[in-house]
Structure 1
Amino acid sequence: MHYLENVATLHLDVETCIGCGLCASVCPHGVFEIIAQKAQILERNRCMECGACARNCPVNALAVKAGVGCASAIIHSWITGEEPSCDCGTGQSGSGC
């Protein structure tokens, strides 16, 4: 499942990663895989920005702005039926999703 293309706020600092695998274990959409004893982002567009990976990383190698951005705006619009507004658009209405 992909949410939106190229909008996830997910960031991985590979140098800091210790390869524990917790991110891969807790991610509900299989965004991560451990390769050569380091986490790798397999498919950034699967990220729903829940923040489970960042909350469980013991060395803070992951960062994600959970509940913000386009993914959150789209999900909110699905639930409420309102137009999505993520403030990343053209600067006019804020709807760029």
Structure 2
Amino acid sequence: MLKYLSNVTTLHYDADKCVGCGRCAEVCPHGVFAGHQRPAAITDRDRCMECGACMRNCPAEAITVRAGVGCAVGVIYGALGIGGDCCCSADSSAGDSCCSDAESPDAQ
């Protein structure tokens, strides 16, 4: 699993606002959240690519992230051949789909 620079993510999560819907876990392309519990839990903060999908899909506005910072690191690592696949790289066949809002729980 691709990781980014340790302890630099702009991901902020307010457990007091969380309603336990699990949407963050459903839309996160890197499994940062464990959902369907109240409150949701961050499983590995350093896997966050800061795409913003969790923030855009959180009905309680419990998550904030400055989108793009971690993704830039992923693109650089990909160009250097470090780490795994990054769906936001310039030559990715996934394009922006992993970072966009999910329209259904089954969408990825």
Same fold (TM over 0.5): yes
Shift of the alpha carbon at 1:38?
Answer: 1.2
Contact kept, 8 Å, 2:34 with 2:40, in 1: the verdict is yes
Number of matched residues? Answer: 79
Partner SS for 1:37: coil
Larger radius of gyration: 1
Structure 1 or 2: more strand by fraction:
1
| Aligned position for 1:77 | 76
| Aligned position for 2:65 | 64
Shift of the alpha carbon at 1:59?
Answer: 1.0
| Residue 22 of structure 1 pairs with residue 23 of structure 2 | yes
Unaligned stretches of 5+ in structure 1? 82-97
Scaled by the length of structure 2, what TM-score is found? 0.64
- Output the CA distance in 1 between the equivalents of 2:67 and 2:50: 5
Identity of aligned residues (%): 54
Unaligned stretches of 5+ in structure 2? 81-108
Contact kept, 8 Å, 2:23 with 2:35, in 1: the verdict is no
